[in-house]
Structure 1
Amino acid sequence: MLLSPDVIARITHARTEHPKLRERDLAAAIGLSEAQLVAAEAGASATRIVADPARLMPHVCQLGDVMALTRNESAVHERRGVYSGFHSGAHASMVLGDEIDLRIFPRHWVHGFAITRETEQGVKRSIQVFDAAGDAVHKVHLGADSDIAAFDAAVADLGLPADAPFEIIARATPEPARIDADRIDALRSEWAQMTDTHQFLALVRRLKMNRLGANRAVGPQFARQLPVEAVSWALERSAADALKIMIFVGNEGCIQIHSGLVHRIAPMGPWQNVLDPRFNLHLRADHIAEVWLVSKPTKRGPAVSVEAFDAEGRLILQMFGKRAEADTDTRGWDRMTESLAAEVLA
C-alpha cells in the first residue's frame, strides 16, 4: 500500500466534502501533495507507471490529438496538439511539435501515473507526472480524437509493480532575488556580449546571481520594471494587434511554450485567461509581484521579453515576440512592449 489507511481515509473524506475542488487545491486543503491524492487511487482508477521521459514520451507521441498541461503555482498552460519531435537527453529533453513545444528536465520526472476515471462526462484518461515533492510537472489529457489503444499499450509497457518505492520529500524553498553587488559591472559587461538567450542562465549562475536578481541589478539598458498590470496589457494588445507571440510557463521539470496568435482574452475574478480553441492560459494576476521588460542581445537582434515573478521570487511566465528561423521580424512586439515602458515613464 502506497499510503497509510489514515491518509487514504482523509483523502476519501475530503473528496466527499469537496467533490468539485481541483486536485491541486484539494491536496493543499488537507496538507498533502497532489501525487499523494492520485496515489490513493492506485490499483483502482490510477496505475503507477515509469516517469522517465526517455521511456514515457515515445508512448505519448503515439496518443494522437491530446491536451498538454504544464503549470506552476500561478499559471496554467494548456495546449492541444500531437506530441512529435521528441529528443531525449540525460539532463534536458525536448518535444518540438508544431503545436506542443516542451523543454523537459528529466531528474524532476519522479512519479508517473496513468489515470482512467468515470465522470459525468464519460471516461477521462490522462498521464500525469509529478516531482519528488509530489507537485505536478506535466499532464497529458486524452480527448475524443485520442488513440485509446496507444494509451492502453503505454500502461501495459510502463506499469510499475505494486511495491515500487513511493516517497514524497519536502518541497524546496523558493530562492529570492540574489545579487552579488561586487559583480554587477561584470554582469552588465557579459550581458552586453551575449549572442543567444540560452547563455543567460549560465551567465547569472557563474556570477552567483539568479534571474530576478540579475533583472534588478543590470540596469535600464537591459531591464526595466513595469507595473504588475503589464502582463494583462501585453496579452490584450497582442490580441488586438494580431501579434505572433511566445508564452512560456514552467516549473522545475518542464517548460511549455505557445507560439502564435492569441485571440480571446477573458479576465475572470483574479484570473487573466486566454481562451482560444487550441490554447488556454489561466494566470493568477493577483500573484504577480514584479514585471520586467528585459532585452537580451542575440545574433539576430535583441530578444525582448515581459517576465512576471511572484512575491517569493519565482518566475510565473515569460512572453516574447515570435521569432522563427526564417522570420526575424519581431518589430510589432518590440514596439508594443516599448510603448508599455513609455507609458510608465509618462
Structure 2
Amino acid sequence: MVRERYEEAEDERMRITVLTVADCPHAQPALEGVVAALDGREAEVELVEVRDEAEAARLGMYGSPTILIDGTDPFVPPGAVPSLSCRLYRDADGAVSGVPELAALRRVLAGAAVQGQGAGEPDCCTPPPDALDVVGRAGRGRRAPAERALRAVHQQVLRHFAATGTAPDAEALRGAAAGAGRSAAEVLAELAAEDFLTLDETGRIRAAYPFSATPTRHRVRLADGTAVWSMCAIDALGVTAMLNEDVLISSADPVTGDPVTVTCAAGAMRWEPPSAVVLVGQRPEGGPAATACCDAVNFFTDVHNARSWIRQHPDVPSRVLDQPTAEYVAGQTFGPLLLP
C-alpha cells in the first residue's frame, strides 16, 4: 500500500481518502474533484494506492477510485463487494464516468461539514451512523430480491400504499405471490425477516418503507391528492424519487414542534424554513429500522435544534445532514424500489 499526503490542514475535522490502483487513469481526476468540491474548506486529503484484494477489503475499496470521507464511502452501491476493479459512477442524468460528478461530491462533503460543526455532536468514541446504512439495510439497499416473489409482492405493497394511502391485505397480494408458488403470508414473513417491511402480531402490514400504515410525524401528499404517512424524514423525501412525481411533505421539529415542509415539484425541492436540516440517528442495540432508527430520523427547523436533540439523546449516535445530502440519500435509497 502506497500513501501520498496531498494536503493536510491543522484542523483534521474532515479526512478524505482516495483509494486507487496503480496507474488508474481516474485517480488524479478524482483527487482534483475532491479538492474542487471542498470549495476552500480545510481538510486532510490523502491518495492511497491499494495493491491487493486483501487491502481492498480491509480499507473498504469498492473499485478504483473509491472516495472515503471520514472512513465512509458515500457512493457505495447496494450489494457491492470490495475489489480492485475499475469503478464507474452514474450522474444525475444517467451518464457513466470514472469519477463522481462534482455536484454529488459537493453534496456529500457539505453533509460531512455540517456534521463536524461546533459542539454538541457525538464524541469520537461514539461514531455517528452512516446515513445510507441507517435507512438502507446496512448497505444492502431496500430493493427486494427478484427471486421467490419477494420483489413482486414488495412492489405490489408499495403501489397499493401509493394508490390508497393504506396497506394491502394478504388477499390483494395473492396473485403476485402465486407466480412463485407461494402464499402471500409466506412472502410477507420473509420480507419482514429481511426488514423490507414490518408486520403486526396478526401478520398484517404495519409499515413498508417508506410508508407507514399508522400515523407518524411525517405526512406526504401525492400529486393526485392521496395522503400517506411516512416512517421517517428520509423515507418522506424518498417518496418523490420512488414514484417520480410531485409531493408535499408536512412534518414538525421534534424539539420545538414548529412545522417543516418540503415541496417537491418538477424535480426541485423547496424547504421551509430554508434553514431546515435532517438528523439521522440509530440506536446501538440494533434491530429493524422501524424500531432502531425511524423515530430518530427527523426534520428540524435548523441545525441548532438538531444539536439540541442530540444533547438530549446521548445514547443515540446521530448525524446532521444538510438538504442536498438528505435528498441524495433518499434518492439513492428509494429511487430504485419500483424498477423492474
Query: Which of structures 1 and 2 has the larger relative contact order (alpha carbons within 8 angstroms, sep 6+)?
Result: 1
- Shorter-chain TM-score tier: under 0.3
Q: How does the TM-score come out when normalised to structure 1?
A: 0.27
Q: How does the TM-score come out when normalised to structure 2?
A: 0.27
User: Which structure: greater strand fraction?
Assistant: 1
